[in-house]
Amino acid sequence: MSRIGKNPIVIPNGVEVNFDNNILTVKGSKGELAQEIDSSISMVIAENIITFSRSTEMPEHRSKHGLYRALTQNMITGVSEGFKKELEVVGVGFRANVSGQQLELSLGFSHAIILEVPKQVKVTAFTEKGKSPVVTLESFDKQLLGQVAAKIRSFRKPEPYKGKGIKFVGEELRRKAGKSAGKK
């Protein structure tokens, strides 16, 4: 059996889980999420515990077993606790401003980049004097949060020589030596 797929999921207090016609709906204090579950994976909800099992040992069914268990766990965690990602904007003159659901980034281009953030994602920007601006994204939907964070990072990925660009807080960058390192 799948090591991830066979682990049961405990439903915390305040979270409501419904499974009807292969559609899983999870509702909690932060929001509501829905996910379609493949018919080859069976799901049983009993006494605040969810268990998953698969119909056959085919590789396709084995991979989906762990996938749907992980997606369900992320949905339950999201509607009860939520998820958070922080991005650091590194570079001289690079700025980040938020007005409503619009994120405005000045990244050294001739124009400012304005991104309309989905309403399920809460965005804030914090700038402290002498430090790089930090953009914080919070949401109950882990997939959407990851997509928005990746989109923001794609505007200016960190370059390997000086590390300028948008990076995740705590991300380790592989730095390269400049031209002078090769000469002797």
**What's the length of the chain?**
184
Identical fold between 9-80 and 83-168: yes
Q: How confident is the model at residue 179 (pLDDT cuts 50, 70, 90)?
A: confident
CATH code, residues 83-168: 3.90.930.12
Mean pLDDT, range 39-66, rounded to an integer: 90
Q: How confident is the model at residue 76 (pLDDT cuts 50, 70, 90)?
A: very high
- Cβ burial of 38 (10 Å; 0-12, 13-18, 19+) is middle
- pLDDT, tens only, 31-42: 999 999 998 999
Residue 103 tokens, joined: 């994120």
Topology (CATH level 3) of domain 9-80: Outer Surface Protein A; domain 3 (3.90.930)
* CA distance linking residue 8 with residue 90, whole number of Å: 42
- pTM beyond 0.75: the answer is yes
Q: Residue ranges per domain, the chain?
A: 9-80, 83-168
Helices (H), the chain: 59-80, 142-154
